Each structure stands twice: as C-alpha cells, then as structure tokens.
Chain A
Amino acid sequence: MDPRYEEFVAVETPRLLRVAYGLTGNPHDAWDLVQEALVRVGMKWRTVGDGNPGGYAHTTLVRLNIDRGRRLSRERLPGVLPDHDGPVRVDAVLDPALIEALRGLPKQQRAAVVLRALEDLDHAGIAERLGCSVGTARSHLSRGLARLREILAEREVSDHGA
C-alpha cells in the first residue's frame, strides 16, 4: 500500500464522512459512500495521487450519492444499528429535525446545501462537484436553502401544535 494513499485516507476520511452524512442522513449509508469513494481513488491512485485526489474523492462521493436513486427517500431511521467498533462514530446529541429536513430535499439541492455548509464551496465549486453549470448550482442551492427553511418551519409548527 502506498504510504501516501494511507495518509490521504487518514486525512480525508473525516471530511468525506461529514459531507456523506449530510448527504445521506445516516452514518451507515454515509460510510458506504465514503468507502466506495476512497476505494475508487485507491484504484486510480497512480494517476490521481499526484493531482488532486481530495477533489476527485469528493466529486466521486457526491455523484455516487446522486446515482443511488430514490431508494431511501421514504425511509426514516429511528435508531442506531447494533454495530461494534464500526467505522463511524456518531455523537449521541444529533439534530434529528435537521437531518430529516435535509433528507426531504431533492438530492441535487441537498448536495448543494451540504457542500456549501460543510465544504464552504462557492457556486462554481458546487457546480464542479455536481457536474452542472454554475447557474444550475446557484439554483439548486437557493431553492434547497429556501425549502430547508420551509420544512423546518413546518415541523416546528407541527411540533407546537401536537
């Protein structure tokens, strides 16, 4: 194993995991994405390693998530799996309302919002990761943030009314 790849994995995994968690809303799917993205980088390390492997990994991760389709869109995870020494450590104090609200966004919008929040990317950077135009990325982000605000407000009203 190339020691540079090992170092890359050690350094990049936390960042990838944060983004993946924002994209998927649960640690298990997040880890699936992270591992697959890192494996793909590893398979191409000879060509990617001297360039921008981090950018490659992040772009791969975001697009893998978009390609996953809608299979998890209706799923709500009420608990944590009984996993021992798993690859992901989750603070018990999460923000379930936010996570669920993020999951309610269309994937492109969710990705734009997460990339802005966690990677601090501008519209051009988001566009590059999503493989779309800057204008489209701007639209995804704008609509995503607005929709996220709406969902959270609706939930708040609902919670107070209950």
Chain B
Amino acid sequence: MEPEDESYDDLLARIQAAGARVAPGPAAGERVHGALARRRRRRRAQVALASVTAVAAVTVAGVVVVPGLLDDDATVTPADEVSAPAIIEGGGYRPAGFFKDVVGGTAVPSITRYYRTVRKVVFTARFEWSPDPAREAFLADLSLERYRSDAEQRCARLVEEDGSCDVREDGSVLATYEVAADGAFLAPIGQEGRLRLDGSPGVLRGATYFRTDAKAVTALVCNCSSLGGAVLSEAPPVSFEALADVVTDPSWALRVGS
C-alpha cells in the first residue's frame, strides 16, 4: 500500500469484497479450451486456404494434392463451390417465445454459399436481424447508436478472422461466417448484443446458431449466447445434399415459426 492511498483503505476493501463474489462457473475451463481450439482451427484453416490458393493456381488437372493440409497424401478435389440462395427466407424466421415477445423484430438466418471437398464442408452463413420499429419502447431505450456499436463489437468478435459483419443504420445486423462442418459444432453468429429494454426486468442476449454435423445444418435461436441456453426455435435440419437441390430450385424456401 502506498502511503498516500491509505485513506482509501475502506474503498479498496469494499472492491475486494465485491471481487470475491465472482467466481468461475463449472463450464469456464471447458469454454476456454473450446475457444482456443476454435481459434487454432481457424488459424490452420487460414493457412490451409492460402496453401490451396497457391496450389490451385498451378493446377491444371481436376485433382490437387495439398501437402500438410489434411494428411500428407490427402487428395482434395477442387472446391465444388456453388452459390445457394437463402434456405430460410421469405417471411423471415421469427423466433418464438421470449425472444420474439420481448425484442420483436425479424431474424433471418440463411446459408448463402457452401462448398465441399472430399473431407470437409464449408458454408457461409448469413444472419440478419431487424428490430421491430413498432416497438417504440425498445427502440427508444435501446439507443440505436449504442446498440450498433455493441453489436458491431460482438459480431466482429464472433466472425473474427474468417467472416465479416455489417451493422446498418437502422440497427439490422448482417454477418457472414465460414464454418467447417467437422462434426458436432455450434457456430454462434449474428446478433448477440445485450439489450436492455425500458421497463423490462432484465436484459436479454439472443443468439442464432448454426449447428452442423457431417451431413446437415440446423438453425437455432437461443435466448443467450451460451451452449446451455434454452433453444427457443429450431428449424428442421437441412442436409447438405438438400442444399445442392436448393441451387437448382431457387424458389425453394424454408419457413419456420412464423
């Protein structure tokens, strides 16, 4: 303790007491390790993508070999990239329950692009959320400017290094996220801002996840960002094979919960 600070002993003790009331929950370590694994995977994917790009530039046949990418002798076909229309669109994906009742607005998760290699499926997910302009209390209290900066920061974190985020003037959020479907995986995407609502008893964190496995993708809306949060709406799984069909049938759309 520096002598000149001694007169603040009481304040410092009070802060210490407050700090002592916060502790890691049971899932803390698991989350850190999961986050680290994802970050490392993204780094590897970035390196791999750079390798693929370099190799593809000199490839004349339909098959390339990418040393060090998967296995040393793994054969990878060129990415079968397609542009798929939104799989969930039209009237929008209106989350049910708490999220819908309190926040309002329309959330539209969609798959805009995917491609696959022999071992990997990658899709670019798009999430758009628009506040309901009819909910004056929501908009009045939320302070659009603050919400936008909050959403931008959080989306930037979610799509860090392998995606993009745009928060528009009207508060809607558009984010893209590239995900390797390498087994059970929940990819948080889009609006995850903490929203305080005038007159409401608390705050709300909403998040949309795209849960993937090797064969399909499922869109979910949860009432918080954690994996343990309640799932409010869940779309039927859409297989990656179905995505291929979507490409040939742009009018196809999946509506959920509206």
Binding site for B on A (CB under 8 A): 1, 6, 9-10, 13-14, 17-19, 21-22, 27-28, 30-32, 34-36, 38-39, 42-43, 68-69, 71-72, 74-91, 93-95, 98-99, 102, 113-114, 116-118, 122-123, 138, 141-142, 145, 148-149, 152
Using Cβ atoms and an 8 Å threshold, which residues of chain B touch A71? 146, 149-150, 153
Residues A82 and B224 in contact, CB atoms below 8 Å apart? yes
Main secondary structure of the interface of A (DSSP, over half): helix
Q: Which 4 A-B pairs have the closest CB atoms?
A: A79-B202, A91-B21, A117-B15, A18-B19
Chain B residue total in the interface (Cβ 8 A):
52
* Residue of B11, B15, B22, B228 ringed by the most chain A CB atoms within 10 A: B22
Main secondary structure of the interface of B (DSSP, over half): helix
Using Cβ atoms and an 8 Å threshold, which residues of chain A touch B25? 85-89
B242 is an interface residue with CB less than 8 A from chain A:
no
Closest-CB distance, A19 to chain B (whole angstroms): 7
Residues A98 and B35 in contact, CB atoms below 8 Å apart? no
Residues B15 and A10 in contact, CB atoms below 8 Å apart? no
With A43-B40, A98-B18, A148-B11: A84-B32 Cβ-Cβ less than 8 Å: no
Binding site for A on B (CB under 8 A): 2, 4-5, 8, 11-29, 31-33, 35-37, 39-40, 43, 98, 143, 146, 149-150, 153, 157, 194, 196, 201-205, 223-224, 226, 228-230
Q: How far is the CA of A86 from the CA of B223 in the complex (A)?
A: 13
Among B22, B26, B39, point to the contact of A43 (Cβ < 8 A).
Answer: B39
Using Cβ atoms and an 8 Å threshold, which residues of chain B touch A88? 22-25, 28
Q: How far is the CA of A115 from the CA of B248 in the complex (A)?
A: 60
CB-CB nearest in chain B for A146: B8
With A68-B153, A71-B146, A78-B196: A39-B22 Cβ-Cβ less than 8 Å: no
List 22 A–B pairs whose Cβ atoms lie within 8 Å, in order of A's numbering: A10-B29, A22-B19, A35-B31, A38-B32, A42-B36, A68-B153, A71-B153, A74-B146, A75-B196, A77-B196, A83-B224, A86-B25, A86-B228, A87-B27, A87-B28, A88-B22, A93-B21, A98-B18, A113-B11, A117-B11, A138-B2, A152-B11
